[in-house]
A and B are shown apart, each in its own frame.
Chain A
Amino acid sequence: MTTPLLDVRDLTVTINRDAGVVTALDKVSFFVNPGEVLGIVGESGAGKSITGAAIIDLLVAPLKRTGGTITLAGERLDTLSPKAMRAVRGGRIGFIFQDPMTSLNPVITIGRQLCDTIEAHLKTGGDKAKKMALEWIERVGLPNPDVQFKRYPHQLSGGMRQRIVIALALCANPALVIADEPTTALDVSVQAHILQLMRDLHRESKTSMMLITHDLGVIAKMADRVAVLYAGRVAEISPVGELFNAPRHPYTRGLIRATPMPFANGEVRLDQIPGAMPGLGKTPPGCAFNPRCFKVEGDCRAAVPPLTSRESSAFSCFHPLEKEIA
């Protein structure tokens, strides 16, 4: 049994509203092993991005972390001072956001931005930092690093910008990278390039990664294990092959079957899940998925199913799907 690099237990995030306190993340627990890619998948409002932001303490009011522990390589992150946390962000934890235009500073050259990160976290400066920055520009696949070094973000295409964001996330040799929808803003042909780059760099550096996305295709190609979030709770955590071939939670199966795929032979009608995910503060009593679930029974409405481990999977469901069904 390996010790997880990142261990998140009972992470709870609430939103203070005039009308009262609403729970956005409800006791979310998962871990990321060293060198592993953990996919976090869910629909909008499931709490994927809040999970990522809560780990690096980037929640903006009215969002507030109100419970749970976050441990990175044996050290508690949730009790760190804001100053100590600043050193973790961009240092031991790198992050990649969805929109490469807003995550780069438009008035600073990309070379300077890389150097800033390297200088702040690796305690080097001057020519050495510049040399490392140039190496990173090359490693992420941009031609003529010397020219790119002096360019501003607006002079690059969306795909190139996202490459720079990846370089920024990795240049301080982080132990963990949190990538929040890294390819959602990109076209398919560019998306495949960025995924390939992330995979190559991940293999070289053995950095652990949390890959947050709504795209099951991206998950299938990139993740080792997958956590499925629904209405601020973990529905299921499974190894990627099992998740797609033998999902245990009815929501996981519903999500997979609702996704159109190019080679779904002759199968024209998509399976649909009735209804929609409950909005914030409108979570029904019991299992959050119960109003949409085809396996719902009385106990699902009475209590929240706990996250139970069985074999290699963990799921929050009183009536999980049998392995052979899917």
Chain B
Amino acid sequence: MSAGDFLTLDHVSKVYRRNQGFLERLKKTDAGGTRAVSDVSLTVRHGETVGLVGESGCGKSTLARLVSGLMAPTSGEISFRKDAAGKAPRLQMIFQDPYSSLNGRWTIEDIIAEPIKVHRLRQGKAAIRARVDELLVQVGLSPADAEKYPQEFSGGQRQRICIARALAGEPEFLILDEPTSALDVSVQAQILNLLRDLQKNLHLTSLFITHNLSVVRIMADRIGVMYLGELVEEAPSEELFRRPRHPYTRLLIDAAPDMDTSDRSLHPIAGELPNPAFPPSGCRFHTRCPFAKDICRNTVPPQKTTEADGLYRCHFDLDLSNASIVPPSANVKTA
């Protein structure tokens, strides 16, 4: 671990075991299971926001749980930078659904004060209340809201409360798992802007997980793209969009419809997402990749590094900076 590194993941894997039948347990056979996260190595530097994107079943939320310590990895190591006293940094999470992540029987003050009390960050009722008020103002709510209950607030306001609660623990590291996916566009913009301001002002290090490439581009300094449990590419945000190295990244960028009404072509990715429990052999993307050759079917691609401080897992060194490079694959009809 070098000086600037805040968090490192070293060949981390997580296997969800299938329930075994009685006989299988007696015979102690290996039931196998779903490799939700497979051999992921990643470094988050101090003060940096790393985004993780991918479709459902790619393992991004599992990775968030592993990093937060809610689950232990099956293999590999997750290590945080320790301070002088040998203590790991404080971390907090912000979840997708602001309706189920707040206790409806607690007032906003109770909710936001809890991390302060647990971590003994302020002493005395008055000091805690003053801190709650300060946090409410910081996330764009008013101190008068402290007396209210979560159900009196809209989705966007609830997510602000979740952010205030996370900040109350004075975290050095923040994990955000789809924090705006449940929100409407106009409210999402408010929350994204708020999060950006907080990141800048509080010098937070964070992991931002989403399925939306456009959102992660705004929020993250570096972006990791996951596919079926593997980190297939990781690069600085601008570089990832300017010159993606993995075909999946290129196709994922093109697949999301943009607001350009002059070019109405659609760009589906061939085939469907395979069952994560039975990932394809070799390169996991080969079943859908327009560049796939024999080697992709048989050999797991090595992890390569780029001069622009990125890494990718592909047998080939493709120039994918232009969308038109992607050949229309056989079973994709073009518009």
Q: Which residues of A contact B (CB under 8 A)?
A: 43-44, 157, 159-160, 187-193, 195-196, 199-200, 214-218, 220-222, 240-241, 244-245, 254-256, 258-264, 268-274, 276-277, 279
Interface pair B185/A189, CB less than 8 Å apart: no
Interface pair A270/B55, CB less than 8 Å apart: no
A189 with B269, Cβ < 8 A, contacts A195-B257, A200-B333 known: yes
Interface pair B218/A216, CB less than 8 Å apart: no
28 A-B residue pairs with Cβ-Cβ distance under 8 Å, sorted by A, are A43-B186, A43-B187, A159-B272, A160-B272, A188-B211, A189-B252, A191-B255, A195-B257, A196-B266, A196-B333, A200-B333, A214-B184, A217-B258, A220-B261, A254-B186, A255-B186, A258-B188, A262-B253, A263-B241, A263-B258, A264-B214, A268-B196, A269-B196, A270-B218, A272-B189, A273-B186, A273-B189, A276-B186
Interface pair A217/B256, CB less than 8 Å apart: yes
How close is A260's CB to chain B, nearest CB, in angstroms?
A: 4
* Residue interface bits B302-335, CB-to-A below 8 A is 1, else 0: 0000000000000000000000000000001101
Distance A215 CA – B259 CA, assembled complex (angstroms): 10
Distance A258 CA – B193 CA, assembled complex (angstroms): 10
Chain B contacts for A215, CB-based, 8 A: 257
Chain B contacts for A217, CB-based, 8 A: 256-259
Does chain A have a CB within 8 A of B156?
A: yes
Chain B contacts for A279, CB-based, 8 A: 154
Return the contact of A214 from the options B157, B185, B241 (Cβ within 8 A).
Answer: B185
Interface pair A245/B261, CB less than 8 Å apart: yes
Interface pair A221/B253, CB less than 8 Å apart: no
- Whose C-beta in chain A lies nearest to the C-beta of B254? A192
Q: Which residues of B contact A (CB under 8 A)?
A: 55-56, 154-157, 184-190, 192-193, 196, 211-215, 217-218, 241, 251-253, 255-262, 264, 266-269, 272-273, 288, 332-333, 335
Chain A contacts for B241, CB-based, 8 A: 262-263
How close is B145's CB to chain A, nearest CB, in angstroms?
A: 14
A192 with B189, Cβ < 8 A, contacts A44-B184, A241-B261, A262-B214 known: no
Distance A254 CA – B267 CA, assembled complex (angstroms): 27
Distance A85 CA – B56 CA, assembled complex (angstroms): 39
How close is B268's CB to chain A, nearest CB, in angstroms?
A: 4
How close is A200's CB to chain B, nearest CB, in angstroms?
A: 7
- Whose C-beta in chain A lies nearest to the C-beta of B54? A187
How close is A271's CB to chain B, nearest CB, in angstroms?
A: 7
Interface pair B257/A270, CB less than 8 Å apart: no
Q: Which of A160, A188, A222 has the most CB of B within 10 A?
A: A188
Chain A contacts for B259, CB-based, 8 A: 216-217, 220, 244, 256, 259, 261
A190 with B273, Cβ < 8 A, contacts A196-B266, A244-B261, A260-B214 known: yes
Chain B contacts for A187, CB-based, 8 A: 55-56, 211, 273
- Whose C-beta in chain B lies nearest to the C-beta of A266? B238
A240 with B261, Cβ < 8 A, contacts A255-B185, A270-B218 known: yes
Distance A261 CA – B215 CA, assembled complex (angstroms): 8
Interface pair B55/A188, CB less than 8 Å apart: yes
Interface pair B185/A221, CB less than 8 Å apart: no
Interface pair A262/B256, CB less than 8 Å apart: yes
Distance A256 CA – B189 CA, assembled complex (angstroms): 11
- Whose C-beta in chain B lies nearest to the C-beta of A241? B261
Chain A contacts for B252, CB-based, 8 A: 188-189
Distance A271 CA – B187 CA, assembled complex (angstroms): 11
